[in-house]
Structure 1
Amino acid sequence: MFDQVNGLPVHALVLHAAVIFVPLLALGAIVYALIGKWRPKIEWAVVLLAVAAPVSTFVAKESGEKLYDRLIGLGLSGKGKEILDDHMGFGSMTFWFSLALGIVTLILVFLNRRGGLPKIAEWVLAAAMVILAVLSGYYVFRTGDSGATAVWGQY
């Protein structure tokens, strides 16, 4: 399922969804967390991104693992393998941080729609969202950079 479509690696076809959705979720979550008056206006977009970003990173991660297995089977070793090993580690971190961000975002949106929550709880969730957004953004950048190095870099 995650290996190929018409002879093309699925990873090459889906990775750009994660590159788009994760930063958009990070930005939307930060705005939602910090600017209370905008929450009703961006709520629907943040909810959609809270689902789309982790799903896209999961598909990119799984398809990347299939591509990695195929490349190892073809004899990939040395510096190229090291770069891909780093890339896969960054991709896994991107998935976990975007999943955590998506969950915390959905929790805050759900609780706000139910009539709000104590200010301290709102601040804690908002702080968690900002921290997870920064980490998600960092890891999606590191994943993309290491992937670009693996494909286009000199090693």
Structure 2
Amino acid sequence: MDYQFNGLPLHVLLVHAVVVIVPLAALCTVLSVLWPAARRRLGFVTPLLALVALALVPPTQAAGIWLMARVDTTPAVQTHVGLGLNLLPWVAALFAAALAQWLWFRWGTAAADRLRAALGTAGTRILAAVAAVLVVALAAGTTAAVVQVGESGTRAVWEGRFSQEPPLP
């Protein structure tokens, strides 16, 4: 497949969508877990956004591999590729968490009642707190992974290729 759009490498264009949508999906997931008013307003948008993020990662990776075959393979490029190939599991886990929280708060009323009966109010609160901490950690890890991939890609492209000072007129 030819990963170009209007003469530009598609990877360069797709990366911008990933860099915006993945952290946005992470933020919406955290808000939906921690803030009931945000959960009600966001509704199905949270898992849908996480699904879009998940759908964007494989074509971005494929376009990046296509681009790597057409540029000088430097250690910085290899680092970027290695980090980029590790992003998919993070985003897949984020989608699973976003979908699970949406399903739970949408249809989990009977299950919540059974859980409350089995664990008691204190046990249910502890379990909810643990789940919230795990979701926040997952969202932070996913966002950190995107930042690492993006930063390494920026270094691979720009490090040593521009002047710190503008040229004299």
Question: Does TM-score exceed 0.5, indicating one fold?
Answer: yes
1:89-120 alpha-carbon deviations (Å, 9 max, x no partner): 22122222111111111012112211333435
Q: Is the 8 A contact 1:104 1:128 kept in 2?
A: no
TM-score, normalised by the number of residues in structure 2: 0.78
- The structure-2 alpha-carbon separation of the partners of 1:30 and 1:2, relative to structure 1 and needing over 3 Å to count, comes to farther
CA–CA distance in 1 between the matches of 2:152 and 2:105?
38
**Match of 2:75, as an amino acid?**
E
Q: Is the 8 A contact 1:14 1:60 kept in 2?
A: yes
TM-score, normalised by the number of residues in structure 1: 0.84
Cα distance, 1:124 vs structure 2: 4.2
* Alignment map for 1:127-146 (pairs within 5 Å): 127-146=133-152
CA–CA distance in 1 between the matches of 2:3 and 2:50?
25
Match of 1:113 among 81, 106, 119: 106
The answer to whether structure 1 residue 33 and structure 2 residue 12 are counterparts is no
Give percent identity, aligned residues only: 31
**Match of 1:95, as an amino acid?**
L
**Match of 2:145, as an amino acid?**
Y
- The structure-2 alpha-carbon separation of the partners of 1:2 and 1:39, relative to structure 1 and needing over 3 Å to count, comes to farther
| Range with bigger deviation, 50-59 or 10-19 | 50-59
- Where structure 1 has 5 or more consecutive residues not aligned to the other structure, the ranges are none
RMSD: 2.0
1:120-145 alpha-carbon deviations (Å, 9 max, x no partner): 55444433321110011101111111
Cα distance, 1:39 vs structure 2: 1.1
CA–CA distance in 2 between the matches of 1:142 and 1:46?
23
Higher-helix-fraction structure: 1
- The match for 1:54 is 54
- Where structure 2 has 5 or more consecutive residues not aligned to the other structure, the ranges are 116-123, 162-169
Give the match's secondary structure for 1:70.
Answer: coil
Cα distance, 1:60 vs structure 2: 1.3
